[in-house]
Structure 1
């Protein structure tokens, strides 16, 4: 009996009052909220606020990565279980175990049994609907360390546009998802069927979770009204980084012979995180193991100890590893270049054309950076630990004081370009060589709850697109009410995004007040500036879009070319 079969009865909630229609894979309609898959049925909820949207919250896509499966690649579900079981998926599940935000808080909330998806569908969908699918990969401002899909709900997206299916993915974070060691395995295409102790650990387990979720979606989204051949992946920050990694990942491994897992991509504020080698991550592994009380003996003994350790002990160890107590260069559990799935740095693979040539939206916010302080070279050295002194000096020449009105803007631009914004130029330029459906943007409206509303900081669009969300500690968030103008701008953004999901073009189903979004190319670097507009009527019925177009400046393009040329040192 598999581990999943052992856990299954605990998860299942048998409801004698709910009839299962064996003649249909999906019971459509507002009063019939059960999706029936070949291996079980899932009971959804419907929101009083958004009655056009159904929510299936916490649908498992892989075996819980517990006990001997900890730190290993995800294992596909055992779908041979009885089909008469009903799973109550009407409330948000616990997120994956959280790491610290770095603001003095302790991580540790969440569960290891977290390999699940939330699925949002129109209330009247059927298994014959074949609606386009948006798959959202959550991100945070601190690499792959924390985040909870419940903080970015999609009920209101479906309410606005009840002609898509939306899926958000939970994946393992921090040390639980990205612990690395040179002796860990880089898995081949059959990783999803691995069921035995084949290795001491597997590299990039959290990223393999995302791939496993996409494979599950490929197999089962039809039962929720979606079309597996019309999947768009989308993510912001670490989620945007994940989208970039899916674009460049080796297809023979990620697809496993099942065909393309997605047909389009939206990458928001791509976190240009360095992808170290497993060898470069080894000092972090040793510090983590020691912090968890597992630092003695050979690697096999250490891994046995780590698999037997409590979640709280591991959570304290991963928090300790991201603090000043660890003095190594690579101080976070990143994805790594494993040589099999991720064969090189994304910037280099993009430049070589070794990526999926699919319709693409990519963009960034106006003022974002992930660094603090005033010293450009110190900040960049912390972010990209392998930069040489010569390259750091080169940055100061590319961003001279004379080019900026003040040093704050100089610091913000130099660090923000390297860490985030130049992904827009790097990915957009590569994409436009192979597809005439490449669109870029600059998001230009501040989060109104920030202390400094003159800056359009990292993740500002999340506040607008997700009901005023501001993430907090341990997977929590605070939703702030939006006024009519903000809601109108949010609807503009959602319309652009879902128009692209439906057609590969953000213009096809945009709001009538919204301007045309021009395509981007190396010869015509047009992009849209997404900006909040004006409320033209006191009753909230008429609005003017604030969005306009601009051309990426030659200075910006040149700086991004300089940054891209340092790929070997940045490892991004």
Structure 2
């Protein structure tokens, strides 16, 4: 009889056939999962896992480069195994990563439910990072399902199309682009429709992500198509205004599509002929060609063309314009970045270095040129004033490593996050919270002793060391994990990282958390994510004032002077300020 026991409440139907085969009934039929177990702080936790659930049809054949089509199925679905990861290049040799099988039939999601099952739990929906070209929602040895039990929430992780398959665009209506973003949107719709059956509350869904997953989350907070699909958004190292988040120059978008066409034998005259040809190219050929783009076009913007574009549909305008217009969906927001985001680049250049690399002036100038910041001489002088210390100005052979890392971090992460947070606070669309992760883990993502709190190191503190892997953190770091999970899951439950229930006092002793103040325009406070969990003022305030306020004013002033000069010499009938003859 026990095998037939079902818990039914409202629209919730959860039937546990036995401990290893939990079953959920949705409109289309039964989903059969499996039970997972992990141990934390001398306690065993059970999680019902439903893996590899398809939310959209396989985007192959005529569906390649098209918006996702909801998956139709009936009967019984075995959800015991991870689904396919989406096609992607081979990852670097990272000690924690096992990708598994890849296929274009990869539009799946995973649902993790704490045991015992009960109704109306808040939901965290994870959007993975990987430069829009790599990664997966879940894979072995890098699981975050302890969040579900430790935070008493339901966790959902999703796959979406990557690289050329998810973000090819032709600059017109043939392939407007953003298929990967529309995949995320379709997965969010699936959650709204089905999460109640797993015990989830569709009115309390918080989407969260890291890196490209973070900028994806940010784009959903601005997209009119995402309105009403989630109540909270957490951005970890990336926002819609990050320099790498969106391809904003529409003139270069079709170059990427035609460039890939040349490499696979689809050199056509117009975009429709091009796409009709690309649809039939084998998966591996298309993937390999997309990897060669940077080799074939090293100096052209089409070398890295596969990212979101503003398409007048999902992204109706430039992200900075949307923020200025206060075009935010009404959701609660948390966003932040890591203290040493820029060291990741060097970690791959110097994988065997025991000490911080020494970057001389020639190498520094080479890195700056490669970064394509396009700075004027006056802007470069300003950078030296802000980022160079006294030792660098007097040392005959200074190390430019720290200066370059800080420039890269502020330009690519910190200052765009500052712009986004200020815009969200000004729009008053919901509560806003900011964080600054500055703890160097005893075992980091890239396993480098000098990388500090580098890009993606925050992921170590979401419970992955409670599952089988080699992240053996200290007791202090385990405590830090529990606090971070509590902040994140409290935010999912109430929109406030300090409290987990509406009638709970923010200062409750049971919480064991230091209060996290809201980010406001007059008090731009950040939570320091470290063992101390202090509250600090904006950690990049001065440098971001340089990037966000001073540089635009300097550009405007120089442009005005140039126009004034040209106007003067034009009236005189002589050469312009640039030395060119005037008409």
TM-score interval for Structure 1 and Structure 2 normalised by the shorter chain: 0.7 to 0.9
Does residue 158 (structure 1) correspond to residue 148 (structure 2)? The answer is yes
Distance 1:395 1:355, change over 3 A: farther
Superposed CA RMSD: 3.3
Give the Cα separation in 1 of the matches to 2:126 and 2:47. 17
2:116 is aligned, of 116, 119, 124, to 124
SS of alignment partner, residue 109 of structure 2 = strand
* SS at 2:251 equivalent: helix
Q: Which residue does the alignment assign to 2:276?
A: 304
Unaligned runs of 5+ residues in structure 2 are: 39-43, 350-358, 393-398, 501-505, 557-583
Q: In 1, are the aligned partners of 2:6 and 2:15 still within 8 Å (CA)?
A: no
Q: Normalising by the residue count of structure 2, what TM-score does the alignment of the two structures yield?
A: 0.78
1:315-340: CA deviations, max 9, x gaps? 11111124465431242211111122
Aligned to 2:513: 514
Per the alignment, do residues 278 and 177 of structure 1 end up closer, same or farther by CA in structure 2, a change over 3 Å counting? farther
What are the within-5 Å matches in structure 2 for residues 230-269 of structure 1? 230-249=204-223, 251=224, 254-255=225-226, 260-269=228-237
Are 1:460 and 2:448 counterparts? no
Describe the superposition over 1:274-320 as per-residue Cα deviations: whole angstroms up to 9, x where unpaired: 42344312222222122222224543333232211111111111111
- 1:322 and 1:453 mapped to 2: Cα distance? 29
Q: CA deviation at 1:418?
A: 1.2
Aligned equivalent of 1:396, options 379, 383, 386: 383
Any unmatched runs of 5+ in structure 1? 1-17, 186-199, 471-476, 533-545
Instruction: Tell me the equivalent position of 1:192.
Output: none
Contact kept, 8 Å, 1:181 with 1:278, in 2: the verdict is no
How do 1:67-86 and structure 2 match up within 5 A? 67-78=61-72, 81-82=73-74, 85-86=75-76
Distance, in Å, in 2 between the alignment partners of 1:445 and 1:417 is 18
Residue of structure 2 in register with 1:366 after alignment: 339
Query: Bigger radius of gyration, 1 or 2?
Result: 2
1:11 corresponding residue in structure 2: none
Query: Which of 114, 130, 133 is 2:106 aligned to?
Result: 114
1:418 aligned onto 2:411:
yes
Instruction: Calculate the TM-score normalised by the size of structure 1.
Output: 0.79
**Residues 381 and 523 (structure 1), Cα distance of their counterparts in 2 relative to 1, 3 Å cut:** farther
Q: Is the 8 A contact 1:52 1:122 kept in 2?
A: yes
For the 8 Å contact 1:379–1:415, the answer to whether it is kept is no
Measured at CA, do residues 260 and 378 of structure 1 come closer, stay the same or move farther in structure 2, by a change above 3 Å? farther
User: In the aligned structure 1, how far is the partner of 2:378 from the partner of 2:187?
Assistant: 39
Query: Residue 195 of structure 2 corresponds to which residue in structure 1?
Result: 221
Do the aligned residues in 2 keep the contact of 1:136 with 1:169 (CA within 8 Å)? Answer: yes
Could you say which residue in structure 2 is the equivalent of 1:208? Answer: 182
Q: Match of 1:305, SS?
A: helix
My pick for the range that moved more, 313-322 or 42-51, is 42-51
How far 1:131 sits from its partner (Å)? 1.5
Query: In the superposition, relative to structure 1, how do residues 461 and 131 fare at CA in structure 2: closer, same or farther (>3 Å)?
Result: same
> How many aligned positions are there?
501
| The one of 315, 321, 326 aligned to 2:293 | 321
How far has the Cα of 1:159 moved from its partner? 2.2
Q: How does 1:41-52 map to 2 (within 5 A)?
A: 41-49=30-38, 51-52=45-46
CA distance in 2, matches of 1:459, 1:320: 26
How far apart, in 2, do the equivalents of 1:207 and 1:235 lie?
13
Superposed CA deviations along residues 39-66 of structure 1, whole A, max 9, x for unmatched, are 1211011113264311111111111111
Instruction: Output the CA distance in 1 between the equivalents of 2:32 and 2:144.
Output: 18
Partner of 2:572: none
Measured in 1, the distance between the counterparts of 2:414 and 2:268 equals 43
